[in-house]
């Protein structure tokens, strides 16, 4: 499948899959990619890559690509191919018609964490300045929004504290709710290298992930917390730190708010937070909780790495704050080898958040109600912005069902497949009068769209992605856009048609605007990125012209670190007589998210369906054998998956991936959300399972 012919030229660019952000040399013959070679000078990957970035790029030229705009008056009609002019004019007229009929706030937009920073910037700008509403959100809503809330609250910045290289100075790595071997493989390799040098590993996960028993790097502790009990586990660890004299008193006294720390110490020291009291809740032996806490607090440089297994819970934000509390209490902040590191799943989910995709925040995580900040944008953009936060993604869907939200501009996001409670999302979309979908493929969401605007792959445009270590890396165009325009150009066309002019000649001009209006990016430009070797970590400004590899050195971004009380509140999704099992979800190495790209590449040969992992005891109880079809039912819906009987999962826990639309994991996930951010609780769904003869 891979053409091994001779390349004529090469271009350095950035992988468009996970949040590691590997740099690749695209070897080209004319407009064709010959091969993708991991770039040895890439600072995030240093010449390494995984099977996604290396082999799964063929989707960009796949026959399923839609390259001609299409419109239709209703979703029951067939698509009609039209010119770009007609499609854009129709889309703009529909937005205007809907706003005239239902009001300014009856429309909104969704940015994409797959697109570049520059494209995300323009979509939120179009919604705020062109539509005149703050109804803009991003798919980070459904993954790392608790990271934004939890880290901003405790340490003052919504981003990871370290570089990936920092792990080579870590003595104790705590991996909680993350499976880097599958989701961030290049980072996992670096972590294993450090573990082979003698660093210790603690894994907190309901499942025996690959890292737990990996050859030569076996985890010192695997804490198999029941789904939904992360906060209880973290409180038990905190209890040990607080009551066994393991607090770094000097660090806390110098760097943290005294009163908040004392309140936290009093809280976690309560008997109800002891490992013994929480053993039955978490399913983790108290001795292991004590041992892991002692190891993290006393084993040298301790670093937390966490993923969606932390954030996608009803207490996702609480768990993020509990992690930050532990890191501050043990002095594991502000130097190499330590810190709190959210493993961002998508290539530019950090960037989409940085660029102001949230309904309550302007770029740089500044609240929309801040008059001074809003006024700076108003002066630059020549408009009046609304001071009230707009609707979050799930609230847009709720409002659509209620009949008050009627129009949506959705760039590069398949909400039907990726958001929870599929039936509700579909009902919401079907209730809208105009959905403008911009994507490479006719995905599940496009079934509800009225305008389809061809999207462009990362190979077809210039821009930047920001990875999980805040590294802004150049994405370089290596071929012409298949549909004629890069995604950012399409947003400009739509904005111009709406009467809000956007005239950028190159993506670099958009980054110049980002730098002009965002203090943490004020030193960033395409030129500066080139000077620094192709990437730079924000903040990059007058104080840090070379960028900032480690944050919170000497002082937290918010000044003093703020401990937060993290009371454990059980999830509403709990085992009942009707739904006795807990379903949780995750990823597999060869596939990516909803599979729109990887399913259209040779990688599909390695994994062609989502499987249901079930413990042998649960399987036997239900007469299920490996390979049987199993119906999984929750209070939201039912789906059917093929069984993989395995001890990787504990009794009472089911696990599946979510890469294939046929298995529809989100048909069963429910409407439970994080209390602070509305992030869906994908990781805990109470279900029943039964053997069926066929799907």
**Site residues, ligand SF4 (CB under 6 A):** 15, 17-18, 20-22, 45, 49-50, 52-53, 184-186
What is the smallest separation between the CB atom of 474 and ligand SF4, expressed in angstroms? 14
Judged by DSSP in three states, 434 sits in: strand
Of 179 and 672, CB closest to ligand SF4: 179
Of 19 and 363, CB closest to ligand SF4: 19
Of 17 and 149, CB closest to ligand SF4: 17
How far is it, in rounded angstroms, from Cα 232 to Cα 241?
A: 14
Of 24 and 358, CB closest to ligand SF4: 24
Of 418 and 650, CB closest to ligand SF4: 418
What is the smallest separation between the CB atom of 18 and ligand SF4, expressed in angstroms? 3
Instruction: Give the chain's end-to-end CA distance (angstroms, integer).
Output: 31
What is the smallest separation between the CB atom of 192 and ligand SF4, expressed in angstroms? 14
How far is it, in rounded angstroms, from Cα 131 to Cα 406?
A: 13
How far is it, in rounded angstroms, from Cα 638 to Cα 358?
A: 32
What is the smallest separation between the CB atom of 164 and ligand SF4, expressed in angstroms? 10
- Both tokens of 103, joined, read 């009001």
Q: How many CB atoms within 10 Å of residue 468?
A: 28
Of 20 and 582, CB closest to ligand SF4: 20
Of 274 and 537, CB closest to ligand SF4: 537
Q: Kindly report the CA angle at 23 between 18 and 28, in degrees rounded to 5?
A: 115
Backbone angles phi, psi at 304, to 5 degrees: -95, 135
Nearest-CB residue for ligand SF4: 53
What is the smallest separation between the CB atom of 48 and ligand SF4, expressed in angstroms? 8
Read off the DSSP letter of residue 226. P
What is the smallest separation between the CB atom of 607 and ligand SF4, expressed in angstroms? 14
What is the smallest separation between the CB atom of 189 and ligand SF4, expressed in angstroms? 9
Residue in the block written with tokens 């790595």: 173
Of 332 and 467, CB closest to ligand SF4: 467
What is the smallest separation between the CB atom of 17 and ligand SF4, expressed in angstroms? 3
How far is it, in rounded angstroms, from Cα 355 to Cα 351?
A: 6
Of 17 and 221, CB closest to ligand SF4: 17
- Both tokens of 294, joined, read 């002692």
How far is it, in rounded angstroms, from Cα 651 to Cα 667?
A: 23
What is the smallest separation between the CB atom of 168 and ligand SF4, expressed in angstroms? 17
Contact 299, 129 (CB under 8 A): no
Residue 339's contacts (CB-CB under 8 Å, 6 or more residues apart) are 160, 161, 162, 166, 303, 304, 327, 332, 333, 550, 551, 552
411 membership: H or E segment, kind and range: strand 407-411
- Both tokens of 137, joined, read 């959100």
* Rg of the Cα atoms in the chain: 24
- Across-strand partners of 587? none
Q: Kindly report the CA angle at 657 between 651 and 663, in degrees rounded to 5?
A: 105
Of 20 and 87, CB closest to ligand SF4: 20
What is the smallest separation between the CB atom of 16 and ligand SF4, expressed in angstroms? 8
What is the smallest separation between the CB atom of 165 and ligand SF4, expressed in angstroms? 15
What is the smallest separation between the CB atom of 186 and ligand SF4, expressed in angstroms? 4
What angle in degrees, to the nearest 10, is found between the helix axes of 230-243 and 275-282? 170
What is the smallest separation between the CB atom of 174 and ligand SF4, expressed in angstroms? 21
- Both tokens of 270, joined, read 């309560």
Residue 656's contacts (CB-CB under 8 Å, 6 or more residues apart) are 583, 585, 610, 611, 612, 613, 632, 641, 663, 665
Q: How many CB atoms within 10 Å of residue 525?
A: 18
Of 15 and 583, CB closest to ligand SF4: 15
How far is it, in rounded angstroms, from Cα 505 to Cα 524?
A: 18
- 403 exposed, middle or buried (CB, 10 Å; 0-12, 13-18, 19+)? exposed
Instruction: Dihedral sign for Cα 678, 679, 684, 685, please.
Output: positive
Of 106 and 591, CB closest to ligand SF4: 591
Q: Kindly report the CA angle at 358 between 114 and 369, in degrees rounded to 5?
A: 155
What is the smallest separation between the CB atom of 53 and ligand SF4, expressed in angstroms? 2
Contact 684, 575 (CB under 8 A): no
Nearest to 64 by CA among 410, 482, 609, 660: 482
Of 21 and 130, CB closest to ligand SF4: 21
Of 313 and 600, CB closest to ligand SF4: 600
């Amino acid at each position: 499948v891979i053409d091994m012919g001779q390349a004529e030229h090469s271009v350095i660019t950035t992988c468009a899959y996970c949040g590691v952000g590997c740099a690749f040399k695209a070897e080209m013959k004319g407009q064709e990619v010959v091969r993708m070679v991991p770039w040895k000078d890439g600072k995030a990957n240093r010449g390494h890559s995984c099977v996604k970035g290396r082999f799964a790029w063929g989707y960009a030229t796949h026959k399923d690509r839609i390259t001609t705009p299409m419109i239709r008056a209703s979703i029951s009609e067939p698509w009609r191919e039209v010119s770009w002019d007609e499609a854009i004019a129709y889309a703009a007229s529909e937005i205007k018609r809907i706003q005239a009929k239902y009001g300014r706030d009856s429309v909104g937009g969704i940015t994409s964490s797959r697109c570049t920073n520059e494209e995300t910037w323009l979509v939120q700008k179009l919604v705020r300045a062109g539509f005149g509403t703050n109804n803009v959100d991003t798919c980070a809503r459904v993954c790392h929004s608790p990271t934004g809330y939890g880290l901003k609250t405790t340490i003052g910045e919504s981003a990871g504290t370290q570089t990936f290289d920092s792990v080579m100075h870590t003595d104790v790595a705590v991996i909680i709710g993350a499976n880097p071997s599958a989701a961030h493989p290049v980072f996992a390799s670096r972590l294993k290298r450090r573990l082979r040098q003698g660093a210790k590993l603690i894994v907190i996960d309901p499942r025996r992930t690959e890292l737990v028993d990996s050859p030569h790097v076996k985890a010192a502790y695997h804490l198999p917390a029941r789904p939904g009990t992360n906060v209880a586990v973290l409180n038990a660890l905190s209890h040990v730190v607080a009551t066994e004299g393991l607090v770094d008193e000097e660090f806390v006294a110098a760097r943290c708010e005294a009163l908040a720390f004392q309140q936290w110490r009093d809280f976690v020291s309560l008997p109800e937070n002891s490992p013994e009291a929480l053993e039955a809740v978490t399913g983790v032996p108290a001795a292991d909780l004590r041992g892991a806490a002692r190891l993290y607090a006393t084993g040298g440089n301790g670093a937390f790495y966490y993923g969606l297994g932390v954030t996608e819970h009803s207490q996702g934000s609480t768990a993020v704050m509990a992690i930050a509390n532990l890191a501050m209490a043990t002095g594991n902040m502000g130097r190499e080898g330590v810190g709190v590191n959210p493993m961002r799943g998508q290539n530019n989910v950090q960037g989409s958040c940085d660029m102001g995709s949230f309904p309550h925040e302007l770029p740089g995580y500044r609240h929309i109600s801040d008059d001074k900040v809003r006024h700076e944008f108003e002066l630059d953009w020549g408009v009046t912005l609304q001071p009230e936060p707009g609707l979050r993604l799930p609230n847009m869907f709720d409002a659509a069902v209620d009949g008050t939200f009627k129009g949506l501009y959705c760039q590069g996001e398949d909400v039907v497949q990726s958001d929870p409670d599929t039936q509700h999302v579909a009902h919401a979309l079907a209730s809208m009068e105009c959905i403008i979908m911009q994507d490479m493929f006719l995905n599940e969401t496009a079934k509800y769209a009225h305008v389809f605007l061809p999207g462009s792959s990362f190979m077809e445009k210039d821009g930047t992605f920001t990875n999980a270590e805040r590294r802004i890396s150049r994405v370089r165009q290596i071929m012409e856009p298949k549909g004629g325009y890069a995604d950012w150009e399409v947003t400009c066309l739509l904005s111009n048609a709406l009467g809000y002019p956007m005239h950028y000649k190159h993506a670099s001009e958009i980054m110049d605007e980002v730098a002009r209006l965002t203090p943490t990016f004020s030193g960033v430009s395409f030129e500066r990125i080139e000077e620094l070797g192709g990437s730079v970590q924000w903040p990059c400004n007058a104080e840090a012209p070379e960028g900032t590899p480690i944050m919170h050195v000497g002082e937290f971004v918010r000044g003093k670190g703020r401990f937060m009380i993290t009371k454990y509140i059980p999830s509403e999704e709990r085992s009942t007589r009707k739904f006795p099992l807990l379903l949780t979800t995750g990823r597999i190495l060869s596939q990516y998210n909803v599979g729109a790209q990887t399913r259209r590449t040779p990688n599909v040969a390695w994994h062609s369906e989502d499987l249901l992992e079930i413990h042998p005891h649960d399987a036997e109880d239900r007469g299920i054998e490996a390979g049987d079809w199993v119906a999984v039912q929750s209070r939201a819906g039912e789906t059917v998956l093929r069984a993989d009987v395995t001890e990787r999962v504990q009794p009472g826990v089911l696990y599946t991936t979510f890469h294939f639309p046929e298995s529809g994991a989100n048909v069963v996930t429910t409407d439970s959300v994080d209390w602070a951010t509305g992030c869906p609780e994908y990781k805990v769904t109470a279900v029943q399972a039964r053997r069926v003869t066929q799907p």
